[in-house]
Structure 1
Amino acid sequence: MGKLTAEAIVERALEIGDAEGLDTVTIRRLAADLGVTPMALYWHFKNKDQLLIGMADHLILDFVVKGDDDRPWRDRLRELVEGLVRVLRTHSCARNVLEQVDKVAVPSFLAVWNEALGLARTAGFTMEECCLISNYLLQSAISIADAPVRRRRGRTPEEITEMARVKRLSLQSLPAEKYPNLVEMAGPMAEGMTVEFYDSFGVDLVVSGVEALAARR
């Protein structure tokens, strides 16, 4: 292969993490996959902690917002949340990567974090509120991206269809006079919806909440 780059290493690490889990990502495994010696990887990453930081930085770089953006704060904030949800959707190991690294050591995460704090400040929130908003946005993005996938991970399409059918019938069998809304909405509750709609509505809900609070200022 050609000259080994840090980018090639983290991309392969993410591929392994997505397919087999983050615990399987080791320097020795990466070296074998890339056809080099472990020492060749140590030139770029001295240990797995540094590798994880490199992986996190690579993930977040995809949606770092440009500093000269003059759009309204709410549009830019939505883009940040959408970008994080997209990364979490694209890479199943992304959540574990972000949870295991010291985010202060990840340059691209610092840029996004700083941007989120600045946008919240522009919206009129106090410094304490800005800190909470940035934390809630991260946790909300993780929840949005994780929920539907977690329920279906490892299931065949047939198993997913059968589980939805059983849940729908169970909800529809409830006393309609006592649980009218559950019975009426049994279909979408059991069968779910497209990932695109789920994510878009979730981001709308979160950002609209921030916008509604800002309007009270």
Structure 2
Amino acid sequence: MRFVPRRAGSTTRSSARLTREGIVAAAVELADRDGLDGLSMRRLAQHLGVDAMSIYYHLRDKDTLLAAMADAVVSGIAAAPAEGPWTERLRSLIMQARATMLRHPWVVPVLQGRGEPPPAVILHIERVLAVMRAGGCSVDLGHHAIHLLGSRLLGFSQDLFDDTPDPSAPPPPAAWAETMPHVAELAAAVTHDGPLGGCDDEREFAFALDLLLEGLERRRLG
């Protein structure tokens, strides 16, 4: 079979059939299905049925692609309710952000690995501040709130350790009862069959968020 070289300009013509938005949407779909480990420019090109160079025409490298994907997902966070107490409006906005992150769990490591936030994150912070200012919060309180809430603004937080219940885990050492009685008490309470049961991430997130919002409201009134 005679090899026929690719004609000059063919990549440009194939790339014209694509759009940046379409490529990003397809990449989000792949990441949702296979995780970040299953996403590559080659696999994305196969998914779209195009040559890989067609993707590079719109997005220069994988890092640029990941940033665009995270930006697209954050852009999809539903807006806060138009009415109601500012704490309830902000709570709703943040819980909407959490729901979005749970649908696209790969976004969290992408955001954590970036030095600069994508534009949609800045716009999300603008919406947070708009809710607070409309609720009577000062600029200074809004500034403190951004630092206080941290990643919770986008619906996730980094726990100190993984406390997911493990039915096969051994009970706390008996010596803890004497040397660390309060840790032993807590450990026994939150085991799989303990009275508190396993930690519910959604409840713990909401509990912490409510405490923070209540504290901010007290500062606003004070």
TM-score (norm 2): 0.68
Task: Say whether the 8 Å CA contact 1:55–1:97 is kept in structure 2.
Answer: no
**Structure 2: which amino acid aligns with 1:109?**
V
Structure 1: state its 5+ residue gaps: none
Instruction: Tell me what 1:38 maps to.
Output: 52
Q: Which moved more, 1:115-124 or 1:88-97?
A: 115-124
Instruction: Tell me what 1:112 maps to.
Output: 124
**Structure 2: which amino acid aligns with 1:74?**
T
1:18-167 aligned within 5 A: 22=36, 25-65=39-79, 69-99=82-112, 100=114, 102-103=116-117, 105-106=118-119, 108-140=120-152, 144-147=156-159, 160-163=166-169, 166=170
Residue 134 (structure 1) shift: 1.9
Q: Tell me how far apart the structure 1 counterparts of residues 52 and 132 of structure 2 sit (CA, whole Å).
A: 44
Residue 31 (structure 1) shift: 0.8
Task: Say whether the 8 Å CA contact 1:65–1:80 is kept in structure 2.
Answer: yes
Q: Tell me how far apart the structure 2 counterparts of residues 193 and 147 of structure 1 sit (CA, whole Å).
A: 12
Q: Which runs of 4+ in 1 moved over 6 A?
A: none
C-alpha distance 148-174 of structure 1, shift in aligned 2 (>3 A): closer
Q: Tell me how far apart the structure 1 counterparts of residues 28 and 162 of structure 2 sit (CA, whole Å).
A: 19
Task: Say whether the 8 Å CA contact 2:78–2:97 is kept in structure 1.
Answer: no
**Structure 2: which amino acid aligns with 1:170?**
P
**Structure 2: which amino acid aligns with 1:36?**
V
Larger Rg: 2
Instruction: Tell me what 1:195 maps to.
Output: 201
Q: Which moved more, 1:191-200 or 1:141-150?
A: 141-150
Q: Tell me how far apart the structure 1 counterparts of residues 173 and 21 of structure 2 sit (CA, whole Å).
A: 49
Q: Per the alignment, in what secondary structure is the counterpart of residue 75 of structure 1?
A: helix
Structure 2: state its 5+ residue gaps: 1-16
Residue 113 (structure 1) shift: 0.9
Task: Say whether the 8 Å CA contact 2:133–2:139 is kept in structure 1.
Answer: yes
Task: Say whether the 8 Å CA contact 2:87–2:217 is kept in structure 1.
Answer: yes
Q: CA RMSD in A?
A: 3.7
TM-score (norm 1): 0.70
Once the two structures are superposed, residues 160-194 of structure 1 have per-residue CA deviations (whole angstroms, 9 ceiling, x without a partner) of 3212xx2xx21776337972574266232665233
C-alpha distance 132-52 of structure 1, shift in aligned 2 (>3 A): farther
1:158-177 aligned within 5 A: 160-163=166-169, 166=170, 169-170=171-172, 174-175=176-177
**Structure 2: which amino acid aligns with 1:75?**
E
Once the two structures are superposed, residues 19-73 of structure 1 have per-residue CA deviations (whole angstroms, 9 ceiling, x without a partner) of 665466332331123221123323543333432232122211232416x813321
What is the percent sequence identity of the aligned residues?
A: 25
Q: Tell me how far apart the structure 2 counterparts of residues 172 and 88 of structure 1 sit (CA, whole Å).
A: 40
Q: Tell me how far apart the structure 2 counterparts of residues 112 and 147 of structure 1 sit (CA, whole Å).
A: 23
**Structure 1: which amino acid aligns with 2:103?**
T
Q: Tell me how far apart the structure 2 counterparts of residues 174 and 54 of structure 1 sit (CA, whole Å).
A: 49
Q: How many residues align?
A: 201
Task: Say whether the 8 Å CA contact 1:89–1:145 is kept in structure 2.
Answer: no
Q: Which has the higher helix share?
A: 1
C-alpha distance 89-120 of structure 1, shift in aligned 2 (>3 A): same
